[in-house]
Structure 1
């Protein structure tokens, strides 16, 4: 969003230099509206609502005899000389995946956690492995977890998770990621024939402020990242640049 504002102001400066003052004034006014609309919360609130609102906070899950819970990565953090830790935006996902696993096991059904995420930040260890340590501390046994360690993007999360899920052959699948990330994740997973039940590990809210707040700019950028990812998918599909769609898993 800050880049867009910079381009608008740069464009206005060029218009003033060309003596197109009226058009320049309109561009400056548009930049001001965007600056306050984003910073005061109206724009990110609108963007986030359509990404998160389709999904229930506590969805009812009909556990089958054999279940798979897929957890998507959200980065890691270097904590001095200590082992890598899940990032701020990953903790909710990890906790939610553990809660779902325990809920599934409480019904007496078979349940397996598939953790997907490579070392996209070049921290020296795959996200999924880092999350695995956290999940073990939450009581998830090693035997009930599998780790996909190659993916660097959400697209690859779906692509590289498919063979693991196909091998396990679950009767029901659940996908855990951030609420803002569910729409794009489900689109990519469906492309590879995976149609899981979505569950949000965290939710985001914009702040209503009179003075522009940096948090709202962060949320707007995160939302725009999701929309651009969806747009890119559709454009690549139209141009034939995506991998061929896979058959529905289990069909």
Structure 2
């Protein structure tokens, strides 16, 4: 979003240099309004509400005899010389996945956790492997963990999860990721014939202030990435560039 504002500023300066002052005045005011709209909160608040507003904080889940909880990874970090750790904003997803796993077990049903994510950041270890360490420390047994270690994007999360889910044949699938990431993830998973129940692992909120703050610009960038991913999917479908849609995954 900062790049968009910077580009608008450059165009404004070019308009003034070409002596198109009226257009320059209009674009300069639009740039200021957009800067304040993002930095002070209204724009990212609207964008996040449209992405995560449809999902319940604590949805009712009817556990079947065979269930899979799909956990989408969200990056890793190097804490000095220590082993890789989940990125700070991924801990909500991990916690929610464990909560759901425990709820499924308390209901007396079979449940597996499918963690999907390769080494997209080239940190030397697949994200799913890093997340699995955290899940084991939180009490999830190795026997109930399935790792997908090849995917480099949300699209591939869905693509490579399909055969793993098909081999286990769950009767109910739950998808856990960040609230603002759910809409795009569900779209991609549906393309590969998977219709999971969505559960948000974390939620974001813009700060409503009278002065611009960096968090609101960060949030605007995150939401813009989601909308562009949805738009790209629809354009690629229209042009026939996406892989053919897969039939519904049958239990």
TM-score under structure 1 length normalisation: 0.99
Q: Distance in 2 between matches of 1:224 and 1:2?
A: 11
2:88 match: secondary structure: coil
Residue 120 of structure 1 is matched in structure 2 by 120
C-alpha displacement at 1:62, in angstroms?
0.1
Q: Distance in 2 between matches of 1:114 and 1:228?
A: 27
Residue 61 of structure 1 is matched in structure 2 by 61
Q: Distance in 2 between matches of 1:164 and 1:155?
A: 15
C-alpha displacement at 1:209, in angstroms?
1.1
Residue 71 of structure 2 is matched in structure 1 by 71
Structure 1 residues 129-208: aligned runs within 5 Å: 129-208=129-208
Residue 219 of structure 1 is matched in structure 2 by 219
**Can you list the C-alpha shifts for 1:9-51, whole angstroms capped at 9, x where unaligned?**
1111111011110110100000000000000000000000010
C-alpha displacement at 1:106, in angstroms?
0.3
Unaligned runs of 5+ in 1: none
Q: Distance in 1 between matches of 2:78 and 2:168?
A: 33
**Can you list the C-alpha shifts for 1:130-149, whole angstroms capped at 9, x where unaligned?**
00000000000000000000
C-alpha displacement at 1:222, in angstroms?
0.3
Unaligned runs of 5+ in 2: none
Q: Distance in 1 between matches of 2:84 and 2:6?
A: 36
Q: Distance in 1 between matches of 2:86 and 2:14?
A: 45
Residue 246 of structure 2 is matched in structure 1 by 246
1:170 match: secondary structure: coil
**Can you list the C-alpha shifts for 1:114-143, whole angstroms capped at 9, x where unaligned?**
000000000000000000000000000000
1:175 match: secondary structure: strand
TM-score under structure 2 length normalisation: 0.99
1:90 match: secondary structure: helix
Structure 1 residues 73-112: aligned runs within 5 Å: 73-112=73-112
User: What is the total number of aligned residue pairs between the two structures?
Assistant: 251
Q: Distance in 1 between matches of 2:120 and 2:89?
A: 15
Aligned-pair Cα RMSD in Å: 0.6
Q: Distance in 1 between matches of 2:13 and 2:82?
A: 49
C-alpha displacement at 1:80, in angstroms?
1.0
Q: Distance in 2 between matches of 1:104 and 1:222?
A: 32
2:89 match: secondary structure: coil
